[in-house]
Amino acid sequence: MYVEARAFKSVWRRKLRTLLVSFVLALCVAVLISTIAGVRASEESTKEMVAKAEANTADMVAKVQANAEEMVAGIQASTEEMVAGIEQGAEETIGQTEIMSRMIMVSSGFGPMRGGEGTNLVSEDVVDDIYSIEGVAAVLPSLTERVGASSDDPRDYDYAVNGVLLDSSLVEGYSVLPSNIIAGRQIEEGDGAAVLLSQDLISSGYFQVGVGDTITLEGSEFEVVGIFYSTQFGDEKTIYMSLENAQNLFGEAGEVSSLQVFAETKDVVNDVAEAIENLDSSWFVMTFEDMPMGRFGESIALTQEQQTARIQEQASQQIATIQEQASQQIATMQEQASQQIAALRDDVSNIESLGVQISLVAGIAGVLMIFGIMFYTVRERTREIGILKALGFSNPYVMERFMLEGSYIGFLGGLIGVALGAVTCSQLGPWLLNISETTSVTVEPYYVLIGLGGAVLCGALGSVYPAWRASRVSPMEALRHG
Amino acid sequence: MKVPILRTIDLSKTFEVGGHKVKALQRANLEVMPGEFIAITGPSGSGKTTLLSLVGCLDKPTEGKIILDGVDVTNIPEASLYKIRREKIGFIFQSFNLIENLSAIENVELPMEFSIKSGKQRSKKARELLDLVGLQEREKHRPSQLSVGEQQRVAIARALANGPAIILADEPTGNLDSETGLSIVKMLGRLTTDQKCTVMLVTHDPRVASLAARTLSLRDGELLQE
């Protein structure tokens, strides 16, 4: 320990110089520690931000997937409901064919709907006259108006309003109203200004409403209580309401455009039809057999099949669209998250690179400073070196002595620098690395080792050449030195 | 039969100065016996310090041999000469060459760092040596706190630290007044009798040289036998 004690004494003898050099070296150490602390803080901060971005993205992806699954499930449920409704409606309709075979259609013009030449209204009073005919079980008057009709083409109209009696008990097992309600409920007696709307009018975009909404027809407002899926030819653009509401809407109180007369049995249908014709020869009277609907039952199954296929295809397309949109959305979110994370990682990489450069500069500055001061010290103490050699101290001893002195200065600078760095790193680190001041920069215990070790290393490295020079000094020349 | 403590055979040293060769020492043949007090005189530039430097292994001869205490030191590598200087030679310089930041006792202990491991023993021996030169009261004083005579006495004590084979004194009185100088030379003389040291002294002062048992002269690098 003799040489170490001697070296320390030599350093301490020149207090002012030693402290000045140590302080400057301390600044380098403070910069080093602040840089390391700043880089580590940035890395931690970035890690947190990356984790947060990944978690957020995963959350959002999960939400999008959940939403899509919910929508798909909704569509599938709705489709099943519609298909079931169609099946039920078709069954009911088929069931109704039996009843329909007892029906006689009466109107004053061509076809049951108003519009076109030769279509007139019939007074509602005739209902009583028809009821008086033997064999008549029920009479169901209705008023049908086509709105927006531009020509005599029965297919060229916007929609049709069908006002009917809402009492479903008149003909057992039969209702003039559509049975396949897909939303809301059936229209009933006492509903007031209410309508049953065809799904086709909504899907075509003519009406953009749902159950509970209000539509305006001919200036009057009606509540949509239900939406039905049309399974009957000519029913696709129909709006059902009470007969009275239809009569008031079109200003045709007490008048109807057609009547459905039901005979008590199928056997008396022709007799009843003849009796009705005898009431007014201008009326169109058609039995069920005369109507195209005579083949109704055969066409129902086909229609049901087609409609089911159509609904299922629409549902499949909707589901595919939803899944496609969800996939695109997820891909976009993941891409954005990747870009964000890559940018964050780029930033921290740049900060690390800058940190390395700053640390290198600080280290080199420290080494150069020690080199300078030790070079000067060796020159200043050339005579002392000569004396030591004359007294029998070896070259390695001389080199060790001066390297120790440089290392002691380094150690002292390191101690001061570590303390300085600990105090200033929260400001110095962000300033050096150009990072946000809100980044929490703190000094970890192992930075102390790095700072001290780095400073001692600077001292030793900076002393190597001067110490080597000192060891090579000729004792003879050294003793002659000033 | 006594063996010389120091023997030089045709010792020569030539310096190159500005392209010119300067023969500082030419074919010096010298024998110094153990316990002898020998003075080398000569005018300035005669080669006295060169002879001392060569004998003291501070420099390498251009030609010739040096046998010190039975060891031919001529061809020992420079890097290993420190051992010879440490164990066999004690130096006393004209300008004392004490280490300023060490006290008197620390200066005397300095050469003993490698020969005596124990700090206490080093201190004890250093005190004995300071006592020998009459400076026991001044052991804590720094060189700047001592008179020139006292500094030279510390240098003498330091030179004796490792019990050298020979003490080489280069103009030891050069920076002293005549009275102090004479007292120093007398002290050196006493070392040869009391401590059985061999002292080789270089001086340009005939009065100093006259105190030695034997005097040799150097003229233009040539050692003149008595």
- Least Cα separation, residue A2 to chain B (angstroms): 7
Query: In whole angstroms, how far apart are CA B64 and each of A165, B11, B20, B71, B72?
Result: 149, 4, 21, 14, 11
CA dist., res. A318 & res. A75, Å (int): 8
- Least Cα separation, residue B47 to chain A (angstroms): 14
pLDDT of residue A115: 44
**HEC sequence for B104-157:** HHHHHHHHHHCCCCCHHHHHHHHHHHHHHCCCHHHCCCCHHHCCHHHHHHHHHH
Do residues B97 and A383 touch, judged by C-beta distance below 8 A?
A: yes
Q: Whole-structure pTM over 0.80, yes or no? A: no
Do residues A447 and A48 touch, judged by C-beta distance below 8 A?
A: no
pLDDT of residue A272: 93
User: What is the average per-residue pLDDT within B144-172?
Assistant: 92
CA dist., res. A159 & res. B212, Å (int): 148
For B82, the closest of A384, A393, A474 (CB atoms) is A393
Question: Which residues are CB-neighbours of B16 under 8 A, at least 6 positions away?
Answer: B22
Look at the domain B6-225 and name its fold: Rossmann fold (3.40.50)
Question: Which residues are CB-neighbours of A196 under 8 A, at least 6 positions away?
Answer: A177, A178, A181, A186, A187, A224, A225, A226, A227, A228, A239, A240, A241
Yes or no, beta carbons of B111 and A392 under 8 Å apart = yes
- Does B15 contact A at CB distance below 8 Å? no
pLDDT of residue A118: 41
Only one residue has tokens 């027809």, namely A217
pLDDT of residue A246: 94
- Least Cα separation, residue A390 to chain B (angstroms): 6
What pLDDT tens digit does each residue of chain A (482 aa) get? 577 888 888 888 888 888 889 999 999 999 998 898 889 988 888 888 899 999 999 999 999 999 899 888 988 888 888 888 778 777 766 666 778 788 898 887 654 444 444 457 788 888 999 999 999 999 999 999 888 876 666 667 888 999 999 886 777 777 788 888 889 999 998 899 999 999 989 988 889 999 999 999 999 999 999 999 887 666 888 999 999 999 999 998 899 998 999 999 888 999 999 999 998 888 888 888 776 655 555 556 567 778 788 888 888 888 898 889 889 989 998 999 899 899 989 988 998 999 899 999 999 999 999 999 999 999 989 999 999 999 999 999 999 999 999 999 999 999 999 999 888 888 888 888 888 777 778 888 888 899 899 999 999 999 999 999 999 988 888 887 75
Tokens of A250: 């079109």
Residue environment code for A194-224, b if the CB has 16+ CB neighbours within 10 A, otherwise e: bbbbbbbbbeeebbebeeeeebebeeeebbb
Yes or no, beta carbons of A383 and B83 under 8 Å apart = no
Residue from B15, B55, B58, B202 to probe the interface with A (highest A Cβ count within 10 Å): B58
Closest to B183 (Cα-Cα) out of B195, B173, B191: B173
Domain segments of chain B as ranges: 6-225
Residue B78 confidence class, pLDDT cut points 50, 70, 90:
confident
CA dist., res. A259 & res. A273, Å (int): 12
Question: Which residues are CB-neighbours of A47 under 8 A, at least 6 positions away?
Answer: none
pLDDT of residue A313: 87
Q: Which helix (H) or strand (E) holds B162?
A: none
Instruction: Give the total residue count for chain B.
Output: 226
pLDDT of residue A438: 73
Q: How many helices (H) and strands (E) does chain A have?
A: 11, 12
- Does B3 contact A at CB distance below 8 Å? no
- Tens of pLDDT along B39-50? 999 888 888 889
Question: What residue in B sits closest to A476 (Cα-Cα)?
Answer: B58
Which residues sit opposite A412 in a β-bridge? none
For B91, the closest of A3, A390, A474 (CB atoms) is A390
- Does B31 contact A at CB distance below 8 Å? no
Residue A327's Cβ-side half-sphere holds a number of Cα atoms within 13 Å equal to 6
Question: What residue in B sits closest to A395 (Cα-Cα)?
Answer: B79
Yes or no, beta carbons of B82 and A474 under 8 Å apart = no
